[in-house]
A and B are shown apart, each in its own frame.
Chain A
């Protein structure tokens, strides 16, 4: 199909900041092509530790509490495998990225989904969580700012859940890869809550914030005993993250902040434009406070999310992701990634308007 505007792509449309690319090219010219320490280069781990402290206030020892991974995808996998025993139930806050539940199954655990609802602006509530906990529950996986809803959890929201996690002795795997893409207020990292700190595995990476998806660099931060367990898996499955990516990531933290901030400002403008447009079209959409996804309801059209996405693609050549693909609580919504240019967003909105007129 020609002339498709894809709002289905979960990655930045920006190219990695040039200062970051240059440093990596130079390192290749210098011959930095070998394995690194399993955990990642000491320079990068040190930089990550300082960055997390200054940016979000979380403190992790670069030697014993941080592993650099092949993207957050690998970090999520080894975190899940490190803490899941066969038969364990692992809660997954939904809707969410597609890999968590399969990873739990691959680890021999049973994934149990916890719905986050539109009426709560897609936050995870203690009530929803409590309903899903059984004596076999081991951990909770949560991703805020959230893919696909753009929902965020603020400090008070996490505090509401913290007691429950402590009371039921659950671990928390917190995927914060969209942390930098938080538009109204600051990102709150649950590991900032003292009672959660030592039961939380924080995952983050460079793909979204620094437009570095193809470099495959993420990281896992956790107390030493969990980190040691995850490292055993990491060293067998990946040995180490790619060295060029690690060097690039170090540069991103060292000198990439201004370009990162400029990208975040641009995402915010796009969000404002796109969400305003969706609501004007009658596709009800809460204002997503993070990530780069709008998650409008398509219920007003009388179509299911899958019907809507298929017809919209067929008739107006705009691609969106049906929310039900990302969890049953996403049904009735579609995920639109606004990581495309404002001109394309305007064109997508006008095509969606034409589509809605045609199905009235």
Chain B
């Protein structure tokens, strides 16, 4: 990755719908070069996929999201990888990370209700081998997601002209 790739990635992360022509102007490369670079970044998997940052609550969706902490006994030779692989297969699991600190795995789980999430954790996750302990935290309100602030802020007034 060089400086131009970095700029293109940042621009795509910010708004993946920016036309390639505009990306090329912004990054100071030719349009063809921008296209080639983006294709390459997609092919290597540096760009995993394109998506939107959605404020589901504002969109009127009643889904519930929870952070779930798992204490896990690692396996000889595999550590946490095999159990993590099993958990990633549940479509309810939006993200999964191995953490330092008091617990091991952190899941972000979305479901239609608190009851559904509780059921998923108690019936699907907790009984799995090597899961020693679970803790479920329901998200009450999201203030910022992937770098985007959800709350409206008033625009600061600036002078219309200043030299």
- Chain A interface residues (CB < 8 Å from chain B): 4, 6, 8-11, 13, 15, 97-99, 147, 265, 269, 272-273, 276, 319, 321, 325-326
CB–CB A13/B160 < 8 A = no
Q: Which of A4, A13, A273 contacts B26 (CB 8 A)?
A: A273
Q: How far is the CB of A75 from chain B (nearest CB, A)?
A: 16
CB–CB B25/A273 < 8 A = yes
Q: How far is the CB of B148 from chain A (nearest CB, A)?
A: 14
CB–CB A11/B26 < 8 A = no
Apart from A6-B161, A9-B160, A273-B26, what are 4 other A-B pairs with CB-CB below 8 Å?
A: A98-B163, A269-B7, A272-B27, A273-B25
CB neighbours of B161 from chain A (8 A): 6, 8-9, 319, 321
| Contact mask for chain B residues 1-25; partner A; CB cutoff 8 A; 1 contact, 0 none | 0000001000100000000001001
- Interface size range on B against A: 10 to 19
A100 to B151, CA, bound (A): 43
CB–CB A10/B162 < 8 A = yes
Q: Which of B22, B27, B159 contacts A9 (CB 8 A)?
A: B159
CB–CB B163/A13 < 8 A = no
Q: How far is the CB of B163 from chain A (nearest CB, A)?
A: 5
**B140 contacts chain A at the CB level, 8 A cutoff:** no
CB neighbours of A11 from chain B (8 A): 158-159, 162
Q: How far is the CB of B152 from chain A (nearest CB, A)?
A: 15
Q: How far is the CB of A292 from chain B (nearest CB, A)?
A: 12
A273 to B160, CA, bound (A): 22
A326 to B162, CA, bound (A): 12
Minimal Cβ-Cβ distance residue in B for A275: B25
CB–CB B160/A269 < 8 A = no
Q: How far is the CB of B15 from chain A (nearest CB, A)?
A: 9
Minimal Cβ-Cβ distance residue in A for B158: A9
A9 to B22, CA, bound (A): 25
CB–CB A13/B28 < 8 A = no
A8 to B161, CA, bound (A): 5
**B156 contacts chain A at the CB level, 8 A cutoff:** yes
CB neighbours of B7 from chain A (8 A): 265, 269
CB–CB A272/B160 < 8 A = no
CB neighbours of B26 from chain A (8 A): 269, 272-273
Minimal Cβ-Cβ distance residue in B for A11: B162
CB–CB A13/B25 < 8 A = no
* Given A269-B26, A273-B22, A321 contacting B160 (CB threshold 8 A): no
CB neighbours of A9 from chain B (8 A): 158-162
